[in-house]
Structure formats: C-alpha cells, structure tokens
Chain A
C-alpha cells in the first residue's frame, strides 16, 4: 500500500508576520478583499458566454499569497500554484503574465476534473511577486468523447476532454496566440470557449489590479502581516472549534456510490477521524480501489482538511475563508490507487458523486460527536446532457441541464426542497424551448422524496423533457438510485431517484439513472425524478399540522403521512384525526424498536454496522 504524501497542500514560503496590524486596517483589508472578489466574479457572470457559467454560476475568484496559500476565496484547500511553479519558477515570472491549466493529474487534484479551468495572474509589487489571483469556472466543452466532454460512460481521462497543462497563455501582456488557437480548435463550440476564457482572463487581470491597489494603499509589510494574521485567525477558529466539538476517539464514516457509470458494482469511500490528545488525523486509506468509470475523485490533503474547516468556519463568518480552514486536521492519509487517489489515466468527470458524499461525511463525523446536531445528507445534484440533431442543419446541439435535488434536514428545520447545489441556477423552461428542439412538459416537486423526520428532508423534483427533433441521445448523471441520502438523529433516509422514458405509455421503460448514449427519437419523453435529502429527528415527533400542510401542498402523500409520520388525515375534511394519529404513532413506535443515530435502509449507529448490512443485501 502506498500512502500518498506527494503534494499535501500549498507549500511555498509563508507570508511574513510583522508588527501586529491595527484591527481597523485589518477590517478594511478584509472588506476590500470581499468587494474585489465580488467585482471580479461579476465580470465573469456578466461576460462569460456559456449558460453553464451565466445561468448555473459555476465560477469563483480567489486570492493567494506568495506561497500559494489562500488569502480569501473558494479554492477549498487546493494547491493551485504548485504545478505552475513546476514549469514557471517565480524568478521566471513577469508582470502581465497569465497562466492557464485544467490538468487534474499534473496539479495533483488541485482541480478535480477537466472542464474546470484555472487562470492565474501573479501580482507584482515593486518587482516582487507578493500574491496571485485566480479565476476559475466550469467550461462548456473542450474535447472529450461527447459534446460536453465529461460523461458517465468515460473510462479514461482522455475521454473527459483535452488536457491543458500549466501554460503561459499571456506572456508579459502578449496573448500566446498559437497555444490559444490549438485549444480553441479542440472544442466543439469554440465561440463559447473563447468567450468564457476571455471572461476568466479579464477577471484574473482585474483581481490582480485590485490587489495591487491594496498593496499600494496599505504598504507591503502591512498587507503581508494582515494576510498572515487573517490566516492565523481563521486557523485558530477552525482548530478551537474542532477540538471543542470533537472529543478524543475515533469516528468512522463510509458512504456508497451507486456504480461507476460502467459495470454494476457499487463503490465506497471510508474516512476515519482519529483524535488522540490534541492531535487529529484523517485516515482515508480504507476506501475502495479506484473505479473503472468516471466517479474517481482526486482528493488532496488540503481539500479534505478544508471540508472540515468549512464546516467550522460557520461559527464566525466575519473571518475570511482562507488557508486557515486547513488548521483543524494535522495529517491526512490517502492511498494511491484508491477511489480518492486514482492512478493516471483514470476518468474523473463525474467525481461530484463522490465528493458531494465526502462533504456530507464531515457532518457525519460531527454527528457522532454531537448526538446528531448536524444537517442530514443531501442528494447528489443531477445533470442531464440532452444532445439532439437539429432538423434542417443537421448540427448536433447540446443542452447541459442541471437539475435540483432535495437537501438534508437541519436540527432546527426542514431541508431545502429543489436546490441544485448552493448558488447554481436552472435553465428556465422558456429558455430551453427557445434555444433547443425540446419541450419541458412538467417541472414539479417529487412527492415523498424528502426523508421523513421531525424536520423533513428536502424534496427532489420531477422533470419531463420531450424531444422535438428527429433524433438525439442523452446522458444522465443521476445518483442516489440505489443508495439514498442518510437521515440523522432519528430522521430517515431520503427517497431514491428514478428515470423513465415514455411513462404511462406502452413504450414505458426504466432508464439506467447514471448512463450515457441513450437514444431517443422525435416525440419521446424522458422523466427524471430526483432524490430527496435525509430527515432529521424522529418523524413521529413531527408536528401533525406540518404534516397536514405538506400533504395539502403535495410534498407528502396521504399514505406516507400515515405510514412514515403516523399522522392520520381525514381525507374529506382534510384535517388531522388526532385520536387515530396518537394510536398510529404508538403502534409504529412499538413495532419499530429503538431508532439509531443514522438511517438509510434502516437505522444504524456505526459505519461497520451499515457495511455489514450493505454487503449482505446489495452484493457488488
């Protein structure tokens, strides 16, 4: 077994702590960083070409110190600079340079699949590189096996798209036209690629200007000291909260991916957090071997640390999200060849199935230390790749359709219904129908998909899409078809996803939820039902009035109200029958025995307990 220690996290020289900086100046610097990030992200949102960026808002801008450590942003612990320095040492950099890459392997997972593009501008202050600015977005298409590049059926990184190793796309202010032409030539939609890449270049450049202005306004030493203090403060918060909330001991979490796109076999990762004294280790080596398909996720030590840090950051959001997020965990162990450290050239395109669950695993650790005082698991967000041959022109069109799922219930309230993932937005049906030969016939809440609980898990959605052109194919990135989102503190797991073609007709058939190259023809209708989030707390303790509301609004069915919540509703008058409800709840309570900390197929308290059940009931 090889334990990977290759490229743990950002590793350049640290910012120099100098004299303590006045607290007012520090807040002014934080405020200016926040405003600059917003400004540069606005540039991306308003100037990018592809709907993926403009409507789904999959982009971010971050600032890094001279050592590549995050000053402020959303790099999630990645070592953004390491692979750039491998090719372009600091001494070789010049003002006006701009670097570009998307290579997950050369960057050791600082980006995790090929559509994610990174642009970096060094910040020169009086001839010295004092910082870097980084813009990032998910691009529409660059090479790969099918329009949209990545996809469920891919088995090699080459299927996922064209690799861009770190290159200098702008050399001291001059565009590297030859490299740019090669890259644009590799896209099925070069106009979109050009628009998007120009938007990212201009955002990185503006970020660089803004940071430079701050160095001019506050002075080099003050800036560097303030940055170092900010990183230390966030680190202190994360460390304190980690130690406060996680007592000594071992905490294991295992989560399961339905399958890898190819084959039927499920895969799982395992993380074990070990606290001895004040030392905290994260051991992920007991994860499964890498998959043949595209769900492999190149985790970096920094990313795993940052997932934990991000959770604890919520306790003082006046502090910046920065390199300090990594301070909670002392050491991370990953195994080369595992699903969290796949070996070249494994496909990585659909790694979201894995990392979404990995992020939830952080909360599952905290749940074990806090009797479940965390948000339950969300379902994994869904993407459908609708591809259609346009009548008349014969052009192949691509509509990459991001679809909402249900999120986990929280210790204070219900989970969010119909949310994709944080701030990403859907396409309006009217936009889809205008731009593509598609008709959106139904867009509804998926009844009973939210995990039952004292607080209900968020519901997924139903999306019915009909093809209007003669022929097409579609790919589906739909997870939680076998393994639902887990519930916590007595709350139950969420509902499963499901995909059908031509439902309610003689041609109705089930479609594999995570699959590609499905054919459809004019008039065919595909129905995607997305999964819900896990519930929180015992569903028998949910206020009966809230269950009635959910029934009236179509989030919960009458049978589920009775069987899951023990709430009996008089169907004619649409009121709760309190006597029958008391009796039903007592009956369920007696029959089921004790609840557990987690629930998915049944209640369980430990990862080992669930693994045993899964091995017995869902053979690989």
Chain B
C-alpha cells in the first residue's frame, strides 16, 4: 500500500514540493527552479529529487496533488488555442459588447478595450431559441451548425465554445450542436456553456465557456505529458489538480473543465491558511500572501474560506465559485516614485524578478519596497541561505535619488515612508474585502506567508487593529502545504427562476436531485468512499428586481416548505448582516447549487520536539534596524528560524531569518513558537 503523498506547486520562479509519509505524518520540503517553457520538466525534476534525497521509491507514492498556473498563464499571456464560438442568432457580438462597461476608475481618454479571445469573424450564429423556463421556442438549425463546422475547419480552430441563450434551463440544443460538431470535427474539443457554467447572464456564461475552450488544448497536452512522464518514472500515483474553489479534482476532470483551475496556486495558499488556523485554534483569519509583484488576501470565517461568484481572470469575469481572493498590485518589487506634482506612490509598476529591485544590482536604479526593507536593516544583505547578496548602497542611492531628495527627507524616513504607503494600500484592500462580507477585520488573526508577507504582517496588523499574527514554518512554500490538506470538491449549479408565492417544490427537488447525482457520480470516479462523501445544497436568492443574489445554504437534502422557509429566513438575516438592512419583500430563488466534497483522510501538520524554552541559542547576529514606531534605528537581535524550537518566546524588536523569508517582530509584540513550528505573535497586553 503506497503510503506517501506528494504536493507539487509550480510558481513563476520556483516549483515547491512537499513529501508526506501519511503513515508517520512526517513531511519534507524541497524547492527547484521552475521551467516555464514546459513546467512538467521542473515538476518531474523536483519529484525525483525529493524522492531520491529521502530514499523513497516512486511506487510508494499513492497520490500527487498539483497546483498549476497553465490555465491562468494561457489567458494572461494570450497564449490559448484558436477558438470558435457558436451562439444563438442575433448574438454574434456577445463578447464584443460584453456588459458595456469600462473599469470604474478608467480614464475614457486612454483606456483600451482588451482584445477578446475570439474575434467576431469566428463567432457564428445559428437559428435556435430556448426560453428562460426551458421551453423550446425555435428548433436548432442543424444545417447551420454543420456550415459553422465547415468555417471552423477552414479557420483551423482547435476548440469550440457553444453558448446559446438560456441553455442553463434546457441544454438540449447545446448538446445536439456538440454531437454534430463532433461528427464533423472529431479532433476539436467542444465546451458547452450549459456544462461549464449553467447560470444565467449570457455574456458571463459565454466568456467563461470561451476561456474554457481557449485553455483546453494546452491544459490537456500538459496533463497528458505529465501522466506519461509519471508512468515512465514508474509511478502509479493518482494525479489531482487544485481548483479555484480550494478543492481538488482528478486530472481527467481537470482536462474537461480546465477553466476551473484558474486560481490553483493562490487557492492552495488559502487552504494552507485553513490548516494553520485549525492547528493554532484561530477560527477567523485573514490570509496575507505578499510576493514580488502583488499581494493576495482572503478571509476565513469560522474555519470556512470565503467563496465568490464574481471572480476575474485577467480582463475577464469568470463566474465560477472561486475562493474570494483579492489581489493588490503591491509587493516586494513594487516601485516607489514621486509624481510631477510631488505625491509619493508605491506600485503598481513593478521591477519584477528581472531586473528586480535596485539592490539586486542587475541594472535597475528604481527603488522598490525590498530596497526600503534592506536600507532599514529589516532584511539581511545575504538572503536565500547566502545564495543571493543584496547591495545596500545601491538601494540607499536609489531611494535617495528617487524619493528622499525630491521630497527633502532623509533616506531612512523616505524608506520608512515607502513601507508605510505599501502597508496602507494593503489595509485598504483588506478592509474592503471584509466590508464586502460584512465582517470587522479586528476580530481576525493575520496568517502571513509569501516571500515578503512575514516582514510586513505586524505593521499591517497594527493598522487594522489586529492583535494576532501567525507565520507558518515555511512561509515561502505555503501553497504546496495547502495542496496536501485540501479535499476533493466540485460544484454543480443550475439556474431555474422560482418566484413567490408558488415556488415549484417538485421542480426544485428534481434539479437538486439531478445535481446531487452528478456529484455522486463524480465522487465515484474519483474513488472517494461513501463514508468520506459530503453533499451540501445551497441556492442563490434575491429580492424581486434585485440584480444580484446571495448564496444561502439549504439545511438538509430534502426540499419541503419548512426547509424553504428556513432558507428564506437565513437570506433575510444574511442580507441584514452584509448590508445593514433586510426587507419585507418577496424573495426569488434563482440558481440551485450542490457541492460535492470528499476526503481522502486527514493530513495533520507534523509536530516538532519541544526545546529548552530559551531562544538565545538561536541568536546569530545583531544589527541596527529602523522601526517607524521609534523613528530610529535600534540594535536588534537576529535569530536563525530553523534553530528555534516549540516553546521558545521572543519579544520585539527582533528578526527571525529563515531559508525562504524573514519575520520582523516589532517593538510591543511578543512571539512564541508553537508545537508545529508556527511563529505566533501577539500585540503586548492582548
């Protein structure tokens, strides 16, 4: 019986790997450079390295969990396949017209409309019509579908999306169109909107389906390559992929609906946050993942991650259930500059990894957040275990020239200002996601990871009024941990408008049962035992005339009047919590949802042996570090993170240097290492 699991998270720079012996719950971590031209190469290199290092045979690995950015990057870099779109007559321009909007604060003098993944010339119309209640109003013109197939063949499309009006209510025309397309073009992948996103709003459903088609060829090639490499390597492990909703799905399911994997990496980070929260007894937390170019934040309430149906992928709305992750265009590489009229801004322009911050010495002289951290002594000039040396002088020069001199400040005050402005941007974003969900961030703990998260976490916490900050043992590879602990999860949804007072109980029961059957079938194919299955029902509700809905859980799995009334009451309550009021008005039920989840067994965080309680042994250095609250440099002990043991306590100011990130403990904060190696920091007096 294979007793090992492996998690592989492919990022832009590094591929992170965690090996777990599920019998003994021992874990080992590894990092290897990513190979962007074919990420499966880095994947296999990392896998073979970690197995070799730990003397594990490939045949002993039962499960491999994978976080991938293939789908995301195909969209963001416009590198998807040529796609054709088939629509209802009259709606050829559905992508071009979209929802009319420009981004809210875009300048109309300069904003450029992004090019759609399919041009109108490859969007073809066929005569057919279904009503919102599923009634067929006009039959499908099958000859027109065949003619369209001919056009697509001539244009060499590699994938076709079909998005007919109201197909969520009755998918028969879309299914028939697929049959015809398959007869005519057996090699071409077909995505149906009634399968990818059977929910009303034609533009959002069409673009999501188009994106699915757009990434399908690359994702399936990639997964096929990966599976054959694994076989060649002698591994019979099952391969699963992380989805944007924080669940995992089998590789074969991922090939069918690759757009569901769009937020694979960030979602895995949030799942790691969940486990850290679980282990440390923090029920409510905010994940704070600060990297080189951006920062991802997300809320966990009562051990549940927030989900959204209003996610985006690049320029496009993707209304699939996704973890509610907000991205702020500010990270370690964000550039600080002074505008012509004297305002000091940080980001969204980023120096990226190349040339990187001024202190990398690769030719950029523009100061970044990392340069400010270096100048203030918060990060060592020798990082990544001595593999990279940072140039403090170059960083100071860049800040002096671009910030301090134009504003008449000294370099330290300018550098500190850059950090404060960056932190302030994070705080604004965190507050806004809290407001959107009706919560007060002061009641949450901050879980900080990513290369730069643990350096900024306490200052962000201070601004938010948050009093607890948790930094996991390996903040640089949190996403890989998250892969290991996630469960199988797939969402099924169908729009079916139900208006009061005559809710169609039988009709709703039929739809729920159908969705549940789909979920059960899927769990069956993923090999999840009955005892590990969890099916939950929910529905999207709104007041009559409202343009958007709230997703409300339905208690139990039997539709009756009492259950329905309970759900409607919950809707009024949730509305009031989110928006400050509820109304004595009729409620419509718009979309029904079933979530199918399955557990493979618990993976707990491994514990570490307790130490002597004295952290002094871990002190490796002392240097002068600038803290804004003191407005000066003060002597500060530097600890080696790996040398700390459970039970060790450290008071701020102090700095913990680890392999992959630096933790800054500000004055007024106390920290303690827990049994898992998490660094738990609390504001003094809390």
A35 located at the interface, meaning its Cβ lies under 8 Å from any Cβ of chain B in the complex: yes
CB-defined interface of B335-375 with A at 8 Å, one 1/0 digit per residue?
00001111111000000000000000000000000000000
A509 located at the interface, meaning its Cβ lies under 8 Å from any Cβ of chain B in the complex: no
* B579 contact from A46, A316, A413, A440, Cβ within 8 A: A46
Contacts of B89 in A (CB 8 A): 442
B561 located at the interface, meaning its Cβ lies under 8 Å from any Cβ of chain A in the complex: no
- The answer to whether A431 and B100 have CB atoms under 8 Å apart is no
A424 located at the interface, meaning its Cβ lies under 8 Å from any Cβ of chain B in the complex: yes
A348 located at the interface, meaning its Cβ lies under 8 Å from any Cβ of chain B in the complex: no
Q: How far is the CB of A31 from chain B (nearest CB, A)?
A: 4
A126 located at the interface, meaning its Cβ lies under 8 Å from any Cβ of chain B in the complex: no
> Which residues of chain A from 403 to 437 have any CB-CB distance to chain B below 8 Å in the complex?
404, 407, 410, 413, 416-420, 422-426, 428-431, 433-435
Q: How far is the CB of A485 from chain B (nearest CB, A)?
A: 14
> Which residues of chain A from 308 to 336 have any CB-CB distance to chain B below 8 Å in the complex?
311, 314-319
- The answer to whether A202 and B579 have CB atoms under 8 Å apart is yes
B636 located at the interface, meaning its Cβ lies under 8 Å from any Cβ of chain A in the complex: no
- The answer to whether A34 and B428 have CB atoms under 8 Å apart is yes
- The answer to whether A418 and B97 have CB atoms under 8 Å apart is yes
- The answer to whether B104 and A57 have CB atoms under 8 Å apart is yes
- The answer to whether B96 and A47 have CB atoms under 8 Å apart is no
- The answer to whether B107 and A553 have CB atoms under 8 Å apart is no
Contacts of B436 in A (CB 8 A): 42, 46
Q: How far is the CB of A203 from chain B (nearest CB, A)?
A: 10
A195 located at the interface, meaning its Cβ lies under 8 Å from any Cβ of chain B in the complex: yes
- The answer to whether B111 and A416 have CB atoms under 8 Å apart is yes
A43 located at the interface, meaning its Cβ lies under 8 Å from any Cβ of chain B in the complex: yes
* A554 contact from B120, B409, B413, Cβ within 8 A: B120
- The answer to whether A27 and B421 have CB atoms under 8 Å apart is yes
A149 located at the interface, meaning its Cβ lies under 8 Å from any Cβ of chain B in the complex: no
CB-defined interface of B79-106 with A at 8 Å, one 1/0 digit per residue?
0000000000111111011111111101
CB-defined interface of A504-515 with B at 8 Å, one 1/0 digit per residue?
000000000000
- The answer to whether A443 and B420 have CB atoms under 8 Å apart is no
A90 located at the interface, meaning its Cβ lies under 8 Å from any Cβ of chain B in the complex: no
Given A202-B580, A318-B343, CB of A23 within 8 Å of CB of B101: no
Contacts of B431 in A (CB 8 A): 35, 39
Give Cα A27–Cα B425 distance, bound, in whole angstroms.
10
Interface residues on B, range: 35 or more
- The answer to whether A24 and B545 have CB atoms under 8 Å apart is no
- The answer to whether B421 and A445 have CB atoms under 8 Å apart is no
- The answer to whether B113 and A47 have CB atoms under 8 Å apart is no
Give Cα A433–Cα B111 distance, bound, in whole angstroms.
32
Q: How far is the CB of B490 from chain A (nearest CB, A)?
A: 24
Contacts of B132 in A (CB 8 A): 430, 433-434
Pick from A48-56, A63-71, A277-285 the stretch touching chain B: A48-56
* B341 contact from A233, A428, A433, Cβ within 8 A: A233
- The answer to whether A35 and B432 have CB atoms under 8 Å apart is yes
> Which residues of chain A from 462 to 480 have any CB-CB distance to chain B below 8 Å in the complex?
464
A546 located at the interface, meaning its Cβ lies under 8 Å from any Cβ of chain B in the complex: no
Give Cα A77–Cα B650 distance, bound, in whole angstroms.
55
Q: How far is the CB of A140 from chain B (nearest CB, A)?
A: 9
Give Cα A318–Cα B101 distance, bound, in whole angstroms.
23
Q: Which residue of B lies closest to A31 (CB)?
A: B424
CB-defined interface of B52-73 with A at 8 Å, one 1/0 digit per residue?
0000000000000000000000
B489 located at the interface, meaning its Cβ lies under 8 Å from any Cβ of chain A in the complex: no
B525 located at the interface, meaning its Cβ lies under 8 Å from any Cβ of chain A in the complex: no
* B110 contact from A189, A410, A426, A552, Cβ within 8 A: A410
- The answer to whether B341 and A237 have CB atoms under 8 Å apart is yes
Contacts of A43 in B (CB 8 A): 435, 579-580
A38 located at the interface, meaning its Cβ lies under 8 Å from any Cβ of chain B in the complex: yes
B203 located at the interface, meaning its Cβ lies under 8 Å from any Cβ of chain A in the complex: yes
Interface residues on A, range: 35 or more
Contacts of B409 in A (CB 8 A): 22-24
* B547 contact from A51, A407, A420, Cβ within 8 A: A51
Give Cα A574–Cα B417 distance, bound, in whole angstroms.
59
Give Cα A23–Cα B421 distance, bound, in whole angstroms.
10
B402 located at the interface, meaning its Cβ lies under 8 Å from any Cβ of chain A in the complex: no
Give Cα A410–Cα B108 distance, bound, in whole angstroms.
10
Contacts of B98 in A (CB 8 A): 418
- The answer to whether B109 and A410 have CB atoms under 8 Å apart is yes
A441 located at the interface, meaning its Cβ lies under 8 Å from any Cβ of chain B in the complex: yes
- The answer to whether B201 and A444 have CB atoms under 8 Å apart is no
Residue in A23, A35, A234, A417 whose Cβ sees the most chain B Cβ within 10 Å: A23
Give Cα A38–Cα B548 distance, bound, in whole angstroms.
19
A113 located at the interface, meaning its Cβ lies under 8 Å from any Cβ of chain B in the complex: no
Give Cα A36–Cα B427 distance, bound, in whole angstroms.
11
A104 located at the interface, meaning its Cβ lies under 8 Å from any Cβ of chain B in the complex: no
- The answer to whether A420 and B432 have CB atoms under 8 Å apart is no
- The answer to whether A552 and B121 have CB atoms under 8 Å apart is yes
A402 located at the interface, meaning its Cβ lies under 8 Å from any Cβ of chain B in the complex: yes
* A433 contact from B104, B166, B204, B428, Cβ within 8 A: B166
> Which residues of chain A from 1 to 50 have any CB-CB distance to chain B below 8 Å in the complex?
22-24, 26-28, 30-32, 34-36, 38-39, 42-43, 46-47, 49-50
Give Cα A91–Cα B420 distance, bound, in whole angstroms.
38
A194 located at the interface, meaning its Cβ lies under 8 Å from any Cβ of chain B in the complex: yes
Contacts of B91 in A (CB 8 A): 429, 442-444
- The answer to whether B113 and A416 have CB atoms under 8 Å apart is yes
Given A195-B583, A314-B107, CB of A24 within 8 Å of CB of B344: yes
Given A39-B432, A428-B202, CB of A27 within 8 Å of CB of B583: no
B304 located at the interface, meaning its Cβ lies under 8 Å from any Cβ of chain A in the complex: no
- The answer to whether B547 and A54 have CB atoms under 8 Å apart is yes
B407 located at the interface, meaning its Cβ lies under 8 Å from any Cβ of chain A in the complex: yes
- The answer to whether B432 and A236 have CB atoms under 8 Å apart is no
Contacts of A419 in B (CB 8 A): 100-102, 113
Contacts of B421 in A (CB 8 A): 24, 27-28, 31
B546 located at the interface, meaning its Cβ lies under 8 Å from any Cβ of chain A in the complex: yes
Q: Which residue of A lies closest to B108 (CB)?
A: A422
Contacts of A430 in B (CB 8 A): 132, 165-166, 200-202
Give Cα A28–Cα B201 distance, bound, in whole angstroms.
39
- The answer to whether A425 and B345 have CB atoms under 8 Å apart is no
- The answer to whether A27 and B90 have CB atoms under 8 Å apart is no
- The answer to whether A28 and B166 have CB atoms under 8 Å apart is no
Contacts of A404 in B (CB 8 A): 97, 100
Contacts of A429 in B (CB 8 A): 91, 165, 202
> Which residues of chain B from 286 to 337 have any CB-CB distance to chain A below 8 Å in the complex?
none
Q: Which residue of A lies closest to B425 (CB)?
A: A31
Q: How far is the CB of B426 from chain A (nearest CB, A)?
A: 10
A191 located at the interface, meaning its Cβ lies under 8 Å from any Cβ of chain B in the complex: yes
Contacts of A425 in B (CB 8 A): 99-101
- The answer to whether A32 and B547 have CB atoms under 8 Å apart is no
Contacts of A236 in B (CB 8 A): 341
CB-defined interface of B577-608 with A at 8 Å, one 1/0 digit per residue?
01111010100000000000000000000000
A192 located at the interface, meaning its Cβ lies under 8 Å from any Cβ of chain B in the complex: yes
Contacts of A198 in B (CB 8 A): 580-581
Contacts of B166 in A (CB 8 A): 430, 433
Contacts of B119 in A (CB 8 A): 552-553
- The answer to whether B113 and A417 have CB atoms under 8 Å apart is yes
A142 located at the interface, meaning its Cβ lies under 8 Å from any Cβ of chain B in the complex: no
Contacts of A352 in B (CB 8 A): none
CB<8 Å pairs between A and B, sample of 27: A22-B409, A22-B417, A27-B421, A35-B427, A35-B431, A38-B432, A39-B428, A39-B432, A43-B435, A43-B579, A47-B581, A49-B583, A50-B545, A311-B109, A374-B109, A418-B96, A419-B113, A422-B106, A425-B99, A426-B99, A428-B202, A430-B166, A431-B201, A434-B497, A443-B90, A443-B94, A444-B90
The 8 nearest A-B residue pairs measured at CB: A35-B428, A24-B417, A442-B90, A47-B579, A54-B547, A553-B120, A318-B339, A425-B99
Which residues of B pack against A, CB within 8 Å? Answer: 89-94, 96-104, 106-113, 119-121, 131-132, 165-166, 200-204, 339-345, 407, 409, 413, 416-417, 420-421, 424-425, 427-429, 431-432, 435-436, 497, 543, 545-548, 578-581, 583, 585
Known: A28-B421, A445-B97. 6 other contacts (CB 8 A): A42-B436, A55-B547, A198-B580, A375-B109, A443-B97, A445-B120
